[in-house]
Amino acid sequence: MPPTESHFIGGAWSRPASDERIPVYSASTEEPLGAVPRGTPADVDRAVAAARTAFDRGWAASSAEERAAWLERLAGALEARIADVAHTIAGEVGSPISMATSIQARSPVAIATAFARVARAFAWTSEAGPSLVVREPYGVVGAITPWNYPLHQIMAKVAGALAAGCTVVLKPSELAPLNAQYLAEACLEIGLPPGVVNIVHGNGPEVGEAIASHDGVDLVSFTGSVRAGRRVASLAGAHLAKVTLELGGKSASVLLDDAPIEKAVTHGVKQALLNSGQTCSAWTRMVVPRGRLDEVLEAATRAMASLPVGDPFDQATRLGPLISEPQRARVEGYIAKGQAEGARLVYGGGRPSGPTRGHYVEPALFAEVAPAMTIAQEEIFGPVIAVLAYENEDEAVAIANGTVYGLAGAVWSADGERALAVARRMRTGQVDVNGARYNPEAPFGGYKQSGIGREFGAFGLEEFLQVKAIQR
């Protein structure tokens, strides 16, 4: 494990301003895994100064080819650490080791590689009549990232910013910060110029707010809750910094009346319960034709029962614990509220009999859910699926669009063109048609209260760029 007692500032392990530490605990055993510094605004000041110096002294002026080459070297250094990263995240977050390896540890490598490709192919200049239009790096980026897909979300911001020519001050989540130290170690190994990437550990009210409110930060990129996103936007707005937000979701998987039920339901359950449902884009609402409701519930019950809950380090486990005891209490509160409001609990919802420690909860399947119920409106961030029945296609679309969120979704039909037509009617940032594969170069982000801006691909790169018109 790389050093955990230090921040990473100016290309070196950096002694924190305070001796206070934040302990990090295992989600599955509740045992301590280590501790990171409890950062202060003084630490943020040093990191922002280092990032500004790196920006001004060459990184912003480097070529797209040079930055792409650095990203590829960074991807290679992270790839060499896949086993270590997966093991660390399985401990911190509780992600099953199979998923922690294939997604949590491998996707940061893929993201860095994809942004290298995007940077090389991107149209950095264009023409508007007699004017030359030039895209230039925005400046110093403050990146504040969540705990559920920690290094994945870190690289979504860091790789995009670096590809654009920006420098970064990163605050990882204090609930799962240890994996970020591997990024620092990788930066050291490849000799990334000092100050291009800086990492300051700490909690949101101290370090996160210091980054968002810092007048040396030009752009703040935040992923987290709607409540925290509003706070970040308010603080950054005081000095008119640009803000991009990737917030919550309550995504719907819409099964049309000709959908392949077994395939759609099985795929939908696995997607919704990935990472024990702690996924912002999870399809936690299954919107189904009333005439096929019983068939859907039977298939969903089978799919849930096929996903073993247990030790994240067991290769057979498919559902690990939730991140913390407060998160489990939150999820159990929603399960109780669903029943109190009249939804029928079809499967699960209790605590599994196996584990004696850790923040475990069984996946829960609800039927007879009305669109206005709390479990159909609010983001639970746990392994809970609400099944909502509809009478016709227009009602299905209305249910899908009937929340304050708009991050992701899915449509299933035997007729691909029909599914595509429904996908176009959904007010959401991404829609998968008939189980299409995830594309790391497609833009990711939300409508409505799911956020502002996009990540990944050319659209994600553009978030980190200013546009200059030069009249000739």
The CA–CA distances, whole Å, from 204 to 143, 262, 293 equal 12, 43, 43
Does residue 392 contact residue 261 with C-beta atoms inside 8 Å? no
Q: Which residues contact 420 (CB under 8 A, 6 or more apart)?
A: 411, 433
For every residue of 454-469, which 3-state class applies, written as one string?
CECHHHHHHCCEEEEE
β-partners of residue 198 are 169
Helices marked H in 261-372? 261-273, 293-305, 325-340
Q: Which amino acid is at 185?
A: E
Does residue 397 contact residue 294 with C-beta atoms inside 8 Å? no
Instruction: Determine the Cα–Cα distance for residues 157 and 73; give it in Å rounded to an integer.
Output: 17
Catalytic residue among 280, 332, 379, 463: 280
β-partners of residue 242 are 219
Q: Which amino acid is at 87?
A: H
Does residue 197 contact residue 102 with C-beta atoms inside 8 Å? no
166 is catalytic: no
Instruction: Determine the Cα–Cα distance for residues 56 and 54; give it in Å rounded to an integer.
Output: 6
Cβ-count burial 243-255 (b if 16+ within 10 Å, e if not): bbbbbbbbbbbbb
Would you mind telling me the total number of residues written for the chain in this entry?
472
**Residue in 367, 356, 362 with CA at minimum distance from that of residue 288:** 367
Instruction: Determine the Cα–Cα distance for residues 198 and 306; give it in Å rounded to an integer.
Output: 43
Quote the distance between the C-alpha of residue 111 and its chain's center.
13
280 is catalytic: yes
The CA–CA distances, whole Å, from 113 to 68, 70, 77, 166, 179 equal 8, 10, 12, 17, 19
Strand arrangement, sheet containing 465-471 = 125-128, 131-137, 465-471
Catalytic residue among 92, 246, 379, 463: 246
Catalytic residues, by residue number, are: 246, 280
